[in-house]
Amino acid sequence: MDLNIPYLRDEDKSLVMLMKEFCEREVDRQALNDLADTPIPPNATKKDLMARMPWDLISKAHDAELRQLTVPEEYGGGGFGENWLALTALAEAAGYYGGQVARIFTIAWKHIGSLIYAPKAIQYEVFTDFMNDRRTMCAASITEPNHGSDYLLPFNDPSTGKYFAEKDGDEWVLNGEKMFCTAGGVSNYIIVSCRTDKDAPITKAVTTFVVPTKTPGWSIARVNDMMGNEITANVQMRFENVRVPDRLRTSPVNGGFEIMKSRLAGKTIHLMAALGETEKVLEDMIDYCKARIQGGKPIIQHSNVGVLLAEGDALLKAARLMIYQDAWESMGKGELLDPKGWWYVNWFTKKVILRMVEIGFEIYGGMAPQKELPFERWARMHLSIWHGGSTGTLNMIKASKVL
Ligand SMILES: Cc1cc2nc3c(=O)[nH]c(=O)nc-3n(C[C@H](O)[C@H](O)[C@H](O)COP(=O)(O)OP(=O)(O)OC[C@H]3O[C@@H](n4cnc5c(N)ncnc54)[C@H](O)[C@@H]3O)c2cc1C
């Protein structure tokens, strides 16, 4: 991983080295890939999903003080909640040196980190649990079976969002289904967005809550078996009369939309992790092209191949700079981040990764789909997480509305 980039401060470079040492010492990339590729039946239980998790590795990440980086210092964490440059550098390093272990880090950093803006009672409950129990995980759920990309669009269609919460005394009663929740089946807490006004446009009708998954009425409705599964899996969840105390509400009533939209900006660390892994994939491609002889010379010397490698390198450099720029602009800005940078990053990084898949298929020829090369698993995984934070094109629609 190239540390010669102006955005990186000395402390970020030291953190990158810490992540590098951790991954080289503790992470077996192949073992993690094999674990993720173990088939998941749609009716897998929470117990089944928990059994897939590399808890020993996660515990070691806690010992290295990496897992808890976004927990505030007063709870024993690293206090990195708004330190986007450090988190971005660490995400890139985790992807580059550790492959998909990066997702385990970025899921924890993002979701736990978003609670630094929640009321103190929630912080106390969740952060204390997260620090005391190394199996504590947190997920976020917006998407519904019939509402996905449109949920955060500025079209404000009153029919968007069916999942509903109704006030009953000091509690809220949650009913409905939520879709595609990454790590939802292995999490103790789900940050969930609910419609709390049945008739208003979605921007004025959403409230967010932290729902402990031990609450009666919460269940996994279906496990989504995808072409490039993650270890944490991805689930559809059912909420049947789930009673949540008002103290677990994280936004003003019907005021969750703006906060939710801005916190999605934190998703740049997921994309940076993907980019870090992609940088390693490009290095593998270059090595392959130096070793593979066709037409009497290493294929890197054929101009059509060399040009593809140079294009990949240029695209990765551009995407990397764009993400660091966004991180730099978001540093210490407080709760409401400008999501425009994130929307651009989402669109552009997806374009770059898709082009890298195409480049890999061109360069590796018949070897491209062979499972013996890391490229095959990387391509499947990154096509699977394509829709994270909605499609690239829809992110550009959102950006166009605020230009
Ligand atoms: C691996 C994975 C992990 C995920 N993790 C999470 C998670 O942790 N939490 C979570 O909440 N969600 C998660 N998602 C869901 C993801 O955010 C959605 O899949 C994404 O927003 C797309 O929504 P959809 O699947 O309903 O597609 P749709 O909204 O049905 O989109 C289908 C197509 O229609 C287009 N389209 C849809 N609506 C409009 C419109 N109004 N105007 C113009 N075009 C439109 C879209 O651009 C797209 O091309 C995950 C998805 C995947 C695949």
- Closest ligand 1 atom to 146 CA: 26
Asked which of 86, 106, 136 is the last residue of a domain, the reply is 136
Residue 325 and residue 389 in one domain? yes
User: Which pLDDT tens digit goes with each residue over 129-172?
Assistant: 999 999 999 999 999 988 876 677 767 777 777 779 999 999 99
Q: Separation of 144 CA from ligand 1 center, angstroms? A: 9
Asked which of 85, 107, 136 is the last residue of a domain, the reply is 136
Are 181 and 141 a contacting pair, CB within 8 Å?
A: yes
Query: Which structural domain range is residue 176 located in?
Result: 139-257
Please, what is the angle between helix 392-402 and helix 339-364, to 10°?
150
Q: Separation of 158 CA from ligand 1 center, angstroms? A: 18
Domain assignment present for residue 189? The answer is yes
The DSSP call for residue 159 is T
- Closest ligand 1 atom to 385 CA: 1
Residue 398 and residue 279 in one domain? yes
Question: Which residues have CB under 8 Å from 262's CB, separation 6+?
Answer: 335, 336, 337, 338, 339
User: Which pLDDT tens digit goes with each residue over 42-59?
Assistant: 999 999 999 999 999 999
Strands 138-141 and 189-195 turn out to be parallel
Domain assignment present for residue 1? The answer is no
Q: Which CATH number characterizes residue 229's domain?
A: 2.40.110.10
User: Which pLDDT tens digit goes with each residue over 177-214?
Assistant: 999 999 999 999 999 999 999 888 888 999 999 999 99
The DSSP call for residue 241 is E
User: Would you tell me how many other CB atoms lie within 10 Å of the CB of residue 310?
Assistant: 10
Q: Cα–Cα distances in Å, from 197 out to 160, 200, 249, 253? A: 11, 6, 15, 9
Residue 160 and residue 219 in one domain? yes
Q: Cα–Cα distances in Å, from 263 out to 152, 273, 374? A: 12, 18, 32
What is the mean pLDDT of the segment spanning 317-333?
92
Residue 252 and residue 340 in one domain? no
Listed range (141-145, 220-224, 367-371, 388-392) with the worst mean pLDDT: 388-392
Domain assignment present for residue 344? The answer is yes
Cα 295–chain centre separation = 43
The CA angle 40-47-77, to the nearest 5 degrees, is 105
Residue 20 and residue 109 in one domain? yes
What residues form DSSP beta bridges with 176? 239
Mutate to test the pocket of ligand 1, among 180, 193, 203, 209 (most ligand atoms within 8 A of CB): 180
Mutate to test the pocket of ligand 1, among 342, 394, 396, 401 (most ligand atoms within 8 A of CB): 394
User: Which pLDDT tens digit goes with each residue over 218-228?
Assistant: 999 999 999 98
Question: Which residues have CB under 8 Å from 91's CB, separation 6+?
Answer: 102, 105, 106, 109, 269, 270, 272, 273, 276
d(CA 26, CA 28): 7
Identity of the residue numbered 303? S
Domain assignment present for residue 2? The answer is no
Are 369 and 211 a contacting pair, CB within 8 Å?
A: no
Give the closest residue (by CA) to ligand 1 atom 48.
Answer: 391
Domain assignment present for residue 357? The answer is yes
Domain assignment present for residue 5? The answer is no
104, pLDDT greater than 80: yes
Residue 237 and residue 316 in one domain? no
